[in-house]
């Protein structure tokens, strides 16, 4: 009788596949931090309509949301070295770790999505908040930083959390750039033994466990943020 699962093999493969966890988490955190900065900048550019730059921001968002992430990874993986070679910025492109190109691709991708989330959250804050800030002598940057953005971020937290979870799962595509994250390690070990099903089940369970922990952490942040907002209102 054919055995569906080789349980012992699955258990033995966990340490090897788990080696990719730090890589997956590093991609997630780096891309999310830089993506959030990009997203905020693009959101403000679109809200305040800076001549010339706003059109570029709209084009950027449209391109990143309208093309597959896997294509964007390939563009970064092959395009950035080509650009560096043309500009003579880096003499030995092969010495640059592939994960840096992955950081760029994921940061730009999540930045486009977060820009829309942040833009809608900022616009949902009552205009009277700005007027109140101006009435007490605040500048626009001060009003944004101290009054508007805290409220906007609180409202956007659920969507931001969803983007973080999606980003974590999307890191499984980094293996196409030879980055040994969770899926990359899974493919390596599966290629050696041809026991693909067991290995991918283990990878799926690892992703699931990490996502559950992230969801718990994000829900705690959301709860504390809303509690703080309720006390301040």
Work out the average pLDDT over 69-75.
95
Residue ranges and CATH numbers for the domains of the chain are 21-182 (1.10.3720.10)
Judge whether 16 and 184 are in contact, CB under 8 Å. Answer: no
Beta-carbon count within 10 A of 165 CB: 16
Which pLDDT tens digit goes with each residue over 144-189?
888 888 888 888 999 999 999 999 999 999 999 989 899 999 999 9
Work out the average pLDDT over 61-67.
96
pLDDT computed for residue 1 by the predictor: 44
Judge whether 14 and 172 are in contact, CB under 8 Å. Answer: no
Please state which of the ranges 2-11, 30-39, 148-157 shows the lowest mean pLDDT: 2-11
Selection from 114, 30, 98, 123 nearest residue 64 by Cα: 114
Most confident range, picked from 1-15, 75-89, 112-126, 131-145 = 112-126
Computed over every residue of the chain, the mean pLDDT equals 88
Dist. CA 166–CA 192, nearest whole Å: 29
> What are the structure tokens assigned to 61, written together?
């968002």
């Amino acid at each position: 009788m054919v055995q569906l699962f080789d349980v012992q093999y699955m258990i033995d493969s966990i340490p090897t596949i788990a080696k990719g966890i730090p890589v997956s988490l590093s991609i997630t955190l780096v891309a999310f931090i830089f993506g959030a900065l990009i997203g905020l900048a693009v959101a403000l550019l679109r809200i305040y309509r800076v001549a010339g730059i706003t059109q570029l921001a709209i084009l950027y968002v449209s391109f990143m949301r309208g093309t597959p992430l896997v294509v964007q990874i390939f563009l970064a993986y092959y395009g950035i070295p080509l650009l560096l070679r043309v500009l003579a910025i880096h003499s030995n492109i092969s010495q640059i770790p592939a994960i840096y190109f992955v950081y760029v691709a994921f940061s730009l991708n999540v930045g486009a999505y977060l820009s829309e989330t942040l833009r809608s959250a900022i616009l949902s804050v009552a205009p009277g908040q700005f007027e109140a800030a101006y009435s007490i002598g605040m500048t626009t940057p001060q009003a944004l930083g101290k009054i508007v953005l805290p409220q906007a971020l609180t409202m956007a937290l659920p969507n931001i959390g969803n983007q973080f979870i999606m980003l974590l799962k999307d890191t499984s595509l980094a293996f196409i750039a030879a980055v040994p994250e969770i899926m990359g390690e899974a493919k390596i070990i599966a290629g050696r033994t041809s026991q693909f099903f067991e290995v991918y089940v283990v990878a799926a369970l690892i992703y699931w466990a990490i996502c559950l922990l992230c969801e718990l952490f994000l829900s705690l942040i959301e709860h504390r943020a809303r509690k703080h907002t309720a006390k301040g209102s």
